[in-house]
Amino acid sequence: MFVIIMGCGRLGAELATILENDGHEIAILDIDKYAFDHLPPAFKGKRILGDGTDQDTLRKTGAERADAFVAATRGDNRNALASQIALHVFNIRRVGSVIFDPLREEIYHELGLRTINPTKIEAQLLRESIEREEP
Amino acid sequence: MFIVIGGGGKVGYHLARALIADHEVLVIEQDPARVEFIGEDLGSDVIMQGDACDAATMERAGMERADLVVAVTGEDQDNLTFCQIAKARFHVDRAVARINNPQNESLFRQLGIDSTVSATQLIMGHIEQELPWQGLIQLLTLGGLDLEIVEVRVPREAHTVGKPIKQLLLPQGALICLVIDNEGQPRLPTPETTIKAEDILVAVTSIEGEESLRNALTSPVP
């Protein structure tokens, strides 16, 4: 698959690395050029300095032939806008969005986005690690 | 009406000031300095400090009884989220959003935002009118209908000059509703009305049909 990832923070860079190791073609976007330092030196995908909520930038990145899009910045609203552009303007079928605010995540999930809420997942994992009996 | 405005920057502040005499208005703004300024100027019951896109803040604002929300921050993503949550969670009837990046306009409409206002687009329309090839100014988009009202000035060299309206090949669904001559006299057009150079035409068109309407009215004699 050709996957576009918006946001090259720790999460975006980690996802890009895993997906590339799985054999996928990756283009990763960020508005901060230093963000690409999160990628390992061996990363072969495209690094694109630009705003993933801008339709022209996405088009130049190849959104018209993308198989999947992931919005993984720290900004919920930014992720929601980019995902809806990917879905409705470029008709990308697989669109994942990170939404940190649990309430906002619920609403966007109802509005048809494939949302991931790190806050809920992390809280759940932390709870499990605390409640687990000592071996 | 109860109107909730997302964003207390310059646009939000002036909008609130204009609406406050006839409506109940509440501005939601994050920046404490802006909150203080608006509170002192318009009254503390007109302003609320918080993230306008946070559902809990919206609930405190009394969003479920809002008749209209207006999103006027400088960030399209914030304006979209504010309107979408207001509609999806609080069932607000009408949402109006300011658009900063003109490319987002049709997406916002597709996502159910009732009206969009793009300053960039408006200014572009005015600049284009000054250029020799003559453009088209968007005056208004009509709520939920994918229609807009536009203004076109007929250039001297246009092939439409001297033709009656019934002979014009307009795109599907486009309608000329008003003709204003170069002396500023407005007339309701009939099929027989003849287009003159420098006439200003006010027309209704679908948003997609805008470009073909512009060409139909202003393209030069071949």
What Rg do the C-alpha atoms of chain B give, in angstroms? 21
Listed as ranges, residues in chain B with pLDDT below 50 are 132
A31 shares contact with chain B (CB less than 8 Å): no
Residue A24: CB atoms within 10 A of its CB come to 15
**pTM for the whole structure:** 0.76
CATH superfamily of B131-218: Regulator of K+ conductance, C-terminal domain (3.30.70.1450)
The 10s digit of each residue's pLDDT in A101-123 is: 999 999 999 998 999 999 999 99
What secondary structure, in 3-state letters, does chain B show?
CEEEEECCCHHHHHHHHHHCCCCEEEEEECCHHHHHHHHHHHCHHHEEECCCCCHHHHHHCCHHHCCEEEECCCCHHHHHHHHHHHHHHHCCCEEEEEECCHHHHHHHHHCCCCEEEEHHHHHHHHHHHHCCCCCEEEEEEECCCCEEEEEEECCCCECCCCCEHHHCCCCCCCEEEEEECCCCCEECCCCCCECCCCCEEEEEEECCCHHHHHHHHHCECC
Residue B173 structure tokens: 């669904």
> How near does any CA of chain A get to the CA of B109, in Å?
11
- The CATH class that applies to domain B2-117 reads alpha beta
| Measured distance CA(A46)–CA(A78) in Å, rounded | 21
Q: Is the pLDDT of residue A66 over 60?
A: yes
Domain boundaries, chain B: 2-117, 131-218
| Nearest residue to B65 via CA among B41, B90, B84 | B90
> How near does any CA of chain A get to the CA of B17, in Å?
28
Residue B128 is predicted with a pLDDT of 65
| Nearest residue to B138 via CA among B214, B57, B219, B26 | B214
Chain B neighbors of A81, CB-CB under 8 A: 76-77, 80-81, 104
B76 shares contact with chain A (CB less than 8 Å): yes
Domains B2-117 and B131-218 share a fold: no
The separation between CA A50 and the C-alpha centre of its own chain, rounded to angstroms, equals: 15
Q: Could you give phi then psi for residue B5, rounded to 5 degrees?
A: -105, 125
Whether B77 contacts A80, CB under 8 Å = yes
Q: Could you give phi then psi for residue A108, rounded to 5 degrees?
A: -70, -30
Chain A neighbors of B53, CB-CB under 8 A: 76-77, 104
Residue B134 is predicted with a pLDDT of 54
The 10s digit of each residue's pLDDT in B135-146 is: 678 788 776 678
Q: Could you give phi then psi for residue B182, rounded to 5 degrees?
A: -75, 0
> How near does any CA of chain B get to the CA of A12, in Å?
20
Q: What is the ipTM of this complex?
A: 0.88
| Measured distance CA(B159)–CA(B129) in Å, rounded | 18
Residue B125 is predicted with a pLDDT of 73
Residue B43 is predicted with a pLDDT of 95
The 10s digit of each residue's pLDDT in A5-55 is: 999 999 999 999 999 999 999 999 999 999 999 999 999 999 999 999 999
Residue of A nearest to B109 (CA): A88
Domains and CATH numbers, chain A: 2-131 (3.40.50.720)
